[in-house]
Amino acid sequence: MEKALILLPTFNERENIKELILEILSLNYPGLEVLVVDDNSPDGTALIVEKLLSKFKNVHLIVKAEREGRGAASLTGLEYARKIGADFLVEMDADFSHSPEVLLKIVDTIRNENLDAVFGSRFVKGGGDERGLVRKIITYFSNCYLRLVFWTDIKDCTSGFRAYRVSKLNGLGFQTVKARDPSILAEYLYYLLKNNARIKEIPFVFRDRQKGKSKLGVKQLMKGLWAPIRIKFQNRK
């Protein structure tokens, strides 16, 4: 059975993390491993996960010495997936904005259809976004911008709900990927497109978080605008 590593990057998610992990495990999906990469959360997120480690052998925890960012957590997850021999790396938010039920569809799709990546998409039929109007507008125009810069027909380029075939990402690592923030999503996408990856989008509805606070700020949004240009410039040869 092919193994899938579910990566949950966290920073101050004590209100969500235990419930989310238990819901993922309750799916009883074969070959599923859960990895929490915590950015040294001051609210004790890691302590909550630690209490689950002895009970569930397929739950793993890496705690950073300091806050390194969403991109660094993703690369740590990729490194860990290689270490344990996982076939797929699946990234999802730890605040229930990404549904565990859709997680099964994503893993099933990448397994059964021999794909390199599967994106949960808000912009294909059946997808949607329950957040406020401002966030919806930002997401819409960010996707238009990325599709234009990367010249792709992927509809949800900024989705963080994704599964990757680990072997397809073998050229990526801390020395290759520059982003340490959410713009790593654009960097992964560019790499996949450049290497003729087989990508499929499946619908999901982005839920607004009910507990805790969003970590996305103006600074990250501005970096996200610059990232596609930086990526293309770095790979112009």
For 6-56, how does the pLDDT look when each residue is reduced to its tens digit (9 = 90+)? 999 999 999 999 999 999 999 988 999 999 999 999 999 999 999 999 999
Number of domains in the chain: 1
Angstrom distance (rounded) from CA 86 to CA 217: 33
Separation of alpha carbons 78 and 177, rounded Å:
12
CATH number of the structural domain spanning residue 112: 3.90.550.10
Average pLDDT, the chain: 89
Average pLDDT over residues 106-110: 96
d(CA 164, CA 116): 6
Query: 54-106, pLDDT tens digit by residue?
Result: 999 999 999 998 888 889 999 999 999 999 999 999 999 999 999 999 999 99
Cβ neighbourhood burial of 78 (10 Å; 0-12, 13-18, 19+): buried
What is the rounded average pLDDT of the residues 192-206? 95
Two tokens, residue 195: 């290497």
From the number of C-beta atoms within 10 Å of its C-beta (0-12, 13-18, 19+), residue 28 rates as exposed
Query: Model-level pTM greater than 0.85?
Result: yes
Expressed as residue numbers, the domain containing 162 is 4-234
The mean pLDDT of 179-202, rounded to a whole number, is 91
